[in-house]
Amino acid sequence: MRFDKDTVLILPDTVFYKVKSNFYSRLKDRWYQRKFTKQLFDFLFSLPSDDFKLDTTQFVKSENPFLDYQGKTIGSINLVKLEALGTRMDDLNKRPESVVQKLGNTVNFKTRDRVIRNNLLFEPGDTVNAAILADNERILRELPYIRDSRISIIPRPDNPDVVDLEILTKDVVSLSFDLEARDFDSGVLRIDHRNIFGSGHELDNRFAVDNGAEQKFSYELRYRVPNIKRTFTALDIRYADTENLDITSLQIKRDFVSPAIKYAGGIEWSQQTLRERRLENIISDLDFDEVFVTQQFDYQDAWLARAFPLRIKDPVLRDRTRLIISGRVSNIDFLRRPEVLKDQNQRFHNRFQVIGGIGFSQRRYFKDKLIFGYGRTEDIPYGMSAELLAGHEWGEFYDRIYMGARISRGGYLGLVGYFFTGLTVEGFKYNGKTEQGVFRTDFRYISNLIDLNQWKFRQFITFNYTRGFNRFDSEFIDIRSRNGIRGLDSHTLRGTQRLLLNIETVSFTPLQLLDFRLAIFGFADIGKINDGQRDIFREKSQTGFGIGFRIRNDNLTFNAVEIRLAYYPNVPIGIDAVDLDLSGNSGFRFNDFFISQPQVGSFN
């Protein structure tokens, strides 16, 4: 069995479900007849709410609940904060009952009022803007220490021009840890806190011991302040001293978290030493050469972007649409590296880049449930973005021009479901020829919720085609595991042209224990890969089929636990045809349509 912490599989991560025939109510009546079984029931189970709606085909546009109050003046802003365990967004009278819930809430730091207010885009005296209120609900939900949020408007009977706001949030247990024992003399301990003392600050720690390695003790730290003084500017500090990575970095960044933000930008400085294992002359997964490469470099980066509103008659679209102009400079200087020549080890060349971009972004959101979550509100982006990029690179051996274009669109198609499409074309020009060129197209589909009595299903389909043009000798894409066929970890499945189809069916089950909830899934992955010199459709397919289940408590910050059994009909030499995998799954996020810093896309 393999333990892997780095999967990026699409995962609905918790389920909140109503069982027919009031099963839990009848079970509660029976168990409440004795004191011991009453306490055991309160410890094990959490009754689903009768008000919970499972018909997610009736999705709601995020700004709709606020449109009737557009232009009214905001009076008072009242905060209602629910503890992480034993509380419900749909039943404010619900209180923790079990000893575990009460103890968990006692040791968990509740988010402070000033932290919630620090993440608001409005204040008393402002006028109601439906788009801004909808954005703020989403911004609060995206905070790692908040499970869900809801903004309610309360009219004043004595003054119809003034409304009060109630902001309801529910915390999560923000402390998590993970212990991985690799053998008798090595292991890894991770301790993460997403809300230190209720301040909203994050601290991640990783301690590792390996008595068989050259460096016996390793440590990694990341400290993050998501929002400095209500500017929506994040501070990110990282430090690592490990056998394969030494890093000291500082990053300050502000994104367009809402179309209401006019300016975005960031600066980054880092010093890094990387020791990586490179495979060469690969014949099979049992026959290859192994080379270890050490690189040490200094990196600096700065960018700035400005968003401009457009003249659009529809007031809602006018609030959600922006023209964005951006610019960026970056520099990398290597202090230690393999031998470099003009046409050898180009990724280790010193270089200075200037890139500018102009783009169009239209972002709106649906509110829905039971997609990647198990009952919490989920924000599904729809709209479009388009961006043109151009720049210049001053290299160690020669200079190049960069050009690129990206476009994406997403939305709902009636009763069919949600779709996302994206297209990227980019590359460098040198002496009239293209270098490091990329053509990439993506398609993602998510069905509406399918109701089959006690079981709720969704269908997920992902398609990707990527083609590299005149890539450097050390640049490849692959269809290994998280990049293609999940669990198939073969080094031979790499090239510069890839065709990939992932299909997954997920069932949201009514099963829950201690607020841990279960989803069952089946999948089929099909991929083709080659060096771009042949027709990809004539290439032999690699496939993977399997089933599994995922378990998660949405009140905790732990990754979902996934157990997967897979079968590969045509495995490369040296790879097992059957794979049983236990891993942590961090979930999946939708592709949004906001434009950030202009940058050269990655080839992966």
pLDDT per position as a tens digit, 347-388:
999 999 999 999 999 999 998 887 887 777 889 999 999 999
- pTM recorded for the entire structure: 0.85
Report percent pLDDT > 90 for the chain: 67
What pLDDT does residue 193 have?
Answer: 95
Q: For residue 569, what are the CA distances in angstroms to 334, 524, 544?
A: 44, 12, 7
Q: What mean pLDDT, rounded, does the chain reach?
A: 88
pLDDT (mean) for 495-512: 92
Query: What are the pLDDT digits (tens) for 315-355?
Result: 878 889 999 999 999 999 999 999 999 999 999 999 999 99
pLDDT (mean) for 519-533: 95
Q: For residue 510, what are the CA distances in angstroms to 47, 296, 318, 447?
A: 11, 52, 42, 20
Please answer whether residues 560 and 588 qualify as being in contact, where contact means their C-beta atoms are separated by less than 8 angstroms. Answer: no
- 398-406 long-range contacts, Cβ below 8 Å, gap at least 24? 398/342, 398/430, 399/430, 400/428, 400/429, 400/430, 400/435, 401/428, 401/429, 401/430, 402/353, 402/355, 402/426, 402/427, 402/428, 402/429, 402/600, 403/427, 403/429, 404/600, 404/601, 406/601
Query: What are the pLDDT digits (tens) for 73-89?
Result: 999 999 999 999 999 99
What pLDDT does residue 59 have?
Answer: 60
CATH class of 226-585: mainly beta
92 vs 80: CA distance, rounded Å: 9
Q: Which residue has the higher pLDDT, 27 or 12?
A: 27
What pLDDT does residue 18 have?
Answer: 34
CATH placement of domain 23-171: 3.10.20.310
pLDDT (mean) for 247-253: 98
With the C-alpha atoms ordered 427, 463, 482, 281, is the resulting torsion angle positive or negative? negative
What pLDDT does residue 4 have?
Answer: 40
Q: Hey, where are the domains in the chain?
A: 23-171, 226-585
Q: In this structure, what token pair is assigned to residue 299?
A: 């990196």
Q: In this structure, what token pair is assigned to residue 4?
A: 């892997």
pLDDT at 14 over 60: no
Please answer whether residues 518 and 551 qualify as being in contact, where contact means their C-beta atoms are separated by less than 8 angstroms. Answer: yes
What pLDDT does residue 560 have?
Answer: 79
455 vs 449: CA distance, rounded Å: 10
Query: pLDDT class for 20, splitting at 50, 70, 90?
Result: very low
3-state secondary structure of 137: helix
Query: pLDDT class for 42, splitting at 50, 70, 90?
Result: low
Of 601, 269, 549, the closest CA to residue 405 belongs to 601
436 vs 427: CA distance, rounded Å: 5
What pLDDT does residue 134 have?
Answer: 94
pLDDT at 36 over 80: no
Query: What are the pLDDT digits (tens) for 397-439?
Result: 999 999 999 999 999 887 889 999 999 999 999 999 999 999 9
pLDDT at 5 over 60: no
3-state secondary structure of 27: helix
528 vs 534: CA distance, rounded Å: 11
